């Protein structure tokens, strides 16, 4: 790739970086939903450990991206200015707290939920800190990433409801509210970057954005509202919630993948005044 004055796509973050955002967001969101579901015993432990495992898989993707993995500890050296450092520190705190919560220690599940939200927030600011990439520096990207992570976690929670049976009607309403909030922020974000992002970046977001609106919003909301309109058995409600969770989860993951790997075009550069030999500026 020739790095001339025209915008070009960043190549530092690839599918492994996207894997960190996908796994970390879903894991953090799952821990938050677990805190609100009131599960106890094996169900609580399974949900929390699953959330930590998703976060761990995301961080493993980052380790695979490093050319020199032994230098990974350098990420902890700059907490004052680096959101990546803050993400790493938050994850380091979240793991033991989440493990303690999984054993049933009182109050730790809420601390784990707070750290999970902080972790997802740090991830959202990591992208926004890339000031040279218009699609990433937009302020609305941060709430979009946070909401997408919570929706992904809620999707994973309801997708596995048949195993833990911890889903409740208020949580389903919360999930639907987050799905709706996500698409509203997405539409506002897409409108804001329309005038500043490279056309290739905008084109890369067309398909995942459409999927987010139809499969990731309309379908889940219809499935969530179905038990209100039609009298369904408990098993049918659980199946509808699982389908809604899967649709919301997979479309959010696809959007994150496109944002990180395909929409990362920088703004290029321009020289307002070119030097001319023998002519004073």
Q: Sign of torsion, CA 230 234 235 237?
A: positive
Q: How far is CA 265 from the centre of its chain?
A: 20
> Is residue 114 over pLDDT 90?
yes
For 110-114, 199-203, 264-268, which range has the lowest pLDDT when averaged over its residues?
Answer: 264-268
Please name which of 30, 79, 77, 72 lies closest in space to residue 51, comparing C-alpha atoms.
Answer: 30
pLDDT at 76: 74
Q: H-helix or E-strand containing 153?
A: helix 141-159
Quick: pLDDT tens for 33-71.
Answer: 999 998 999 999 999 999 999 999 999 888 876 666 566
Q: Per-residue confidence at 235, pLDDT binned at 50, 70, 90? A: confident
The pLDDT value recorded for residue 1 is: 47
User: Can you give the pLDDT at residue 221?
Assistant: 95
**pLDDT score, position 63:** 80
For the chain, which residues make up each domain, given as ranges?
15-261
Per the prediction, the chain carries an average pLDDT of: 89
- Looking at residue 62, its pLDDT comes to 82
Q: Give the Cα-Cα-Cα angle 206, 210, 215 (nearest 5 degrees).
A: 150
Q: DSSP assignment of 175-242, as one string?
A: HHHHHHHHHHHHHHHHHHHTTTS-HHHHHHTHHHHHHHHIIIIIHHHHHHHHHHHS---HHHHHHHHH
Spatial CA neighbour of 251 closest among 199, 201, 186, 189:
186
Beta bridge partners of 9: 265
Structure tokens at 44: 């609580």
pLDDT at residue 172, as a whole number: 92
CATH topology of domain 15-261: Formate dehydrogenase/DMSO reductase fold (1.20.1630)
pLDDT for 203 equals: 96
pLDDT confidence band for 132 (50 / 70 / 90): confident
Q: What is the mean pLDDT of residues 95-113?
A: 95
pTM equals 0.90
Give the pLDDT band (50/70/90) at residue 6: confident
- What CA–CA distance (Å, rounded) separates 247 from 159? 9
Query: What pLDDT is recorded for position 7?
Result: 79
> Cα–Cα–Cα angle for 192, 198, 201, nearest 5°?
85
d(CA 138, CA 134): 6
- Asked whether the predicted pLDDT for residue 234 surpasses 90, the reply is no
- Percent of the chain topping pLDDT 90: 64
Average pLDDT over residues 84-109: 94
């Amino acid at each position: 790739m020739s790095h001339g004055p025209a915008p070009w796509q960043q190549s530092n973050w690839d599918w492994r970086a996207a894997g960190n955002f996908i796994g970390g967001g879903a894991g953090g969101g799952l821990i938050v939903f677990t805190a609100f579901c009131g599960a106890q015993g094996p169900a609580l432990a399974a949900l929390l450990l699953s959330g930590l495992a998703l976060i761990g898989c995301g961080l493993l993707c980052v380790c695979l991206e490093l050319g020199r993995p032994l230098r990974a500890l350098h990420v902890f050296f700059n907490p004052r200015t680096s959101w990546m450092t803050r993400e790493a520190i938050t994850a380091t705190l979240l793991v033991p707290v989440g493990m303690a919560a999984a054993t049933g220690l009182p109050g730790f599940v809420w601390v784990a939920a707070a750290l999970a939200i902080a972790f997802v927030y740090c991830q959202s600011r990591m992208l926004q800190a890339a000031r040279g990439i218009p699609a990433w520096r937009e302020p609305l990207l941060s709430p979009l990433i946070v909401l997408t992570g919570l929706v992904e976690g809620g999707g994973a929670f309801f997708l596995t409801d048949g195993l833990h049976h911890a889903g409740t009607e208020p949580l389903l309403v919360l999930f639907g509210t987050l799905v709706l909030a996500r698409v509203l922020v997405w539409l506002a974000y897409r409108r804001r970057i329309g005038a500043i992002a490279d056309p290739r970046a905008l084109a890369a977001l067309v398909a995942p954005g459409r999927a987010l609106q139809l499969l990731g919003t309309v379908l889940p909301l219809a499935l969530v509202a179905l038990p209100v309109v039609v009298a369904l058995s408990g098993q049918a409600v659980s199946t509808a919630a699982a389908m809604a969770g899967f649709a919301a989860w997979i479309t959010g993951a696809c959007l994150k993948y496109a944002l990180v790997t395909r929409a990362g075009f920088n703004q290029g550069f321009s020289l307002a005044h070119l030097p001319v030999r023998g002519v004073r500026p």
